[in-house]
Structure 1
Amino acid sequence: MGNLRVTKKGIRLEGISEFLLPLYVKEIHSRKDSPLVLQSDRNVTVNARNHLGQLTGQLTVGADAVEAQCKRFEVRASESGKVLFSADEDEIVIGADRLKVTDLNLLLDLW
């Protein structure tokens, strides 16, 4: 395990660490000059729960797919915050100024 210190703001863990069981925390931050890296030999799953502990959203990054299970999924532009893509049970919205389809068969399948 990396260097572990208790501070006024919480626990500070530096270096590479391995967690064998689930980790429950309010926030995880990386240093400003370093990325936050999560690794798994199977997948990485992030769960969101309500105040009753019920699962309200889940994002799973696996070897073959990235899956989101939630009421609504959005992709936003990093600078403007504009919704570029959103999907829910009733509709899919593409909010980009331009839509480029690179496979005509894909476009025909949509119709």
Structure 2
Amino acid sequence: MKIFLAFFVAVGSIVTLGDAGCIAERRKPWWPHKGCMINGKIYPLGHIERTEFCYKCDCEKDQIRCCSCMIDPPQYDGEKCKVIFNRKTCDYDVVQKDDPSKECFSYSRMC
């Protein structure tokens, strides 16, 4: 379980640096009978639209499969703008360096 949790923490930490990816994990004996465990949180069997670490998952009787919702912003003005990860929306906010309250133009993304 420690390896599983460490993996999710590591992926959650670096997800802001990488592209979308998927993982699969076989059921562990200590998981609840009618659900899956992700980062110590129990999720019911079935589709999980979004976890706290921005994954979409499918919890099945014998395994869990999760894919990252994160997609790097495709293009923005790097001289005037910066990218900030917004964990609430599982997306990147592209804002002006001089005034982070103002958004910069970037292409829309979906999870």
Instruction: Work out which structure has the larger RCO, using CA pairs closer than 8 Å and 6 or more positions apart in sequence.
Output: 2
With the shorter chain as reference, the TM-score category is under 0.3
State the structure with more CA Rg.
1
More helix by share: 2
Query: TM-score by structure 1 length?
Result: 0.23
